[in-house]
Each structure stands twice: as C-alpha cells, then as structure tokens.
Amino acid sequence: MNGMMLGRYLPMDSFIHRLDPRLKIGSLLLLLISVFFDAGFIGYGILGIFVIVLVILSKMKLSQVVKSIKPMIFMMIFLMFFNLLFIQKGTLLLSLGFLKIYDQALIQTAYIFIRLILIIIMTTILTATTKPLDLTLGIEHLLSPFKKIGFPTHEVAMMISIALRFIPTLLEETQRIMKAQASRGVEFSEGSLKEKIMSIVSLIIPLFISAFQRAEDLANAMESRNYNPEAKRTRYKQLIWKVSDTISFVCVCAVCAGIVTLSIVL
C-alpha cells in the first residue's frame, strides 16, 4: 500500500509543479478529449511524445510512472480481452472454434490500450505535481462561472477537498487494521476463497465503522465552528496566472488542435 502511486502528490520542484492548477486541470481536460479523437497511430504518436515530454518536465521517475499504471493492469487486460473477441469487423485473422479474431479488433484493442495508458499517465502527472489543496482551489475557480446559475461551487470544491484529504488517512487506517488483523492470524494474500472473503470482511467492517466515525466527527467539528457554505470567504492562497502558464496553454492547445485536424483529415 505504501507503493501506491495513483493520485499521490510527489513533493518536488519542477516546471510542471510551478504551473497554475487551473491551467493543469484545463489542459488535462483538453488532452483527455483529444485522446478520444481517432487520429490514427500518428496522432497517438504525437500525444505519446507530448506526454513523455511532460513526464520529463515534471521530474517523475520512470519507476513512478510504471507504478501508476500497475493497479489498472487487471482492468486493462479485462477490457482488451473482450474487445478482441467482440469486435467482428475486417478480415478474419485467427479462428479457434468460437474464438474469432479480426484485424479491426486488433487495431481497436491497440487503440484502447494506448488510450488507457495515456489517460492514466496524464492524470498521474496532474495529481503528482499539484497539491490536493491547489487542485480543489483550481476546480473551484474553474467552476465559479456556474455559480450564476445556482451551482454550489464552493460546496462541491469543499467535498472534493475533504475526499482528497481523507485518502491518505483512510489508506493509513487500512494499513493499521490490516496489521491488527494480521496479528490475529489473518493472511490477506493467501488461503482459500472462503478464508479470503473472511479476511476482507475483517478489514472492511472496521474500516467502514471508522470512516463513518470520522465523518461524524468532522461534521461536528465544522458545525461547532459555525461552518456556513454560503459565507463569503477570502483566501490566503491566491492563484496567479503567469506568462509561463499562457505559453504552456498555447502549447497544449496547439497539440490538441493538431490531433483534431489530423482526425478530420484522416
């Protein structure tokens, strides 16, 4: 659990770390959208190179990037497996009884694989280089235009920041309970299916109880300080848009525009 990379902030000082969170969130959205434009392998090549440049700029290590993909591997294999079997277009490449693999299926599966990898790495870059609090601040700023139509921007941002705040706490709690139950002879990695279910139960129930307990404590603490989501508040931390942010945004837009053009041309 200590090796978890997904969604974890890496305290470092890099070009990407210093960028404005609003820019990073906006850029991620644009890049995510462009991932789904079908610009062929050339398009994915461009995006791939761009993502590699971002990884280098953010000073992330290769091992950290690999670690961020690892937890998703099972889901990826699952998705790819079904794609391979259920897309039945193009020419038949291989036929084993009811298993039929077509060339279009192969290409589509490769696309999905590349898309997932790109999405995971892009998201990891955002969370690894942006402090959770900056992230929520950015989201709140980006959502602020919707305030006019009655969208509860502040509440949503508060919910997100609380959720993010408690991820490490809950992970710690999970580890603590796992150790306590391991001391009572539970083996989380071994045993028959029945034993495995039992060991998960012995983890989940205490975890839920403590999570609810924490939620209640937090709600009480907020209420006792008279928390009012509608109150006007100022911020200690101000977001300042710099020249480097503008330049970065132009670069991201250029890449995305390139992908969209490619997909139209092809």
Partner 1 sequence: MSITFKKVEHVYSENTPFSYHALKGVDLNIKTGSMTALIGHTGSGKSTLIQHINALLLPTSGEIQIEDVMITATNKPESLKPLRKKAGLVFQFPEYQLFEETILKDIIFGPKNFGIEESEAEIIAKKVLKLVGLDESYLEKSPFDLSGGQKRRVAIAGILAMDPDILILDEPTAGLDPQGAKEMLNLFKKINRSGKTIIIVSHDMNQVLEYCDDVIVMSNGKVERHESVDEIFKETEYLSSLSIDLPTITSFILQLNKHGFKIDSSIKDVDQLVKEIGGQL
Would you tell me the crossing angle of helices 21-35 and 132-143 to the nearest 10 degrees?
A: 80
d(CA 37, CA 43): 9
53 binds partner 1 (CB under 8 A): no
Site string (154-183) toward partner 1, x via CB under 8 A: ----------------------xx-xxxxx
Of the pair 180, 221, the CB lying nearest partner 1 is at 180
Would you tell me the crossing angle of helices 103-129 and 62-69 to the nearest 10 degrees?
A: 120
d(CA 19, CA 12): 13
Of the pair 104, 174, the CB lying nearest partner 1 is at 174
Q: How far is the CB of 200 from partner 1 (least distance, A)?
A: 11
Sign of CA dihedral 100, 105, 110, 113: negative
Instruction: Specify the stretch interacting with partner 1 by CB under 8 A; choose among 4-12, 43-51, 215-223, 257-265.
Output: 4-12
Of the pair 201, 221, the CB lying nearest partner 1 is at 201
**Residue of the chain from 172, 187, 216, 217 that contacts partner 1 (CB under 8 A):** 187
DSSP state of 20: -
- Tokens describing residue 141: 């700023």
Residue 101: strand pairing partners = 94
Contacts of 214 (CB under 8 A, 6+ apart): 166, 169
Residues 75 and 159 sit within 8 Å (Cβ to Cβ) = no
42 binds partner 1 (CB under 8 A): no
259 binds partner 1 (CB under 8 A): no
DSSP three-state, residue 101:
strand
Q: How far is the CB of 202 from partner 1 (least distance, A)?
A: 5
Of the pair 178, 252, the CB lying nearest partner 1 is at 178
190 binds partner 1 (CB under 8 A): yes
Apex 73 CA angle, 68 and 77, nearest 5: 155
Of the pair 3, 229, the CB lying nearest partner 1 is at 3
The count of residues interacting with partner 1 (CB under 8 A) is 24
Which positions from 201 through 240 interact with partner 1, judged by CB under 8 A?
A: 201-202, 205-206, 209-210
Residue showing tokens 């235009």:
145
**Interface ranges with partner 1 (CB under 8 A):** 2-3, 10-12, 176-177, 179-187, 189-190, 201-202, 205-206, 209-210
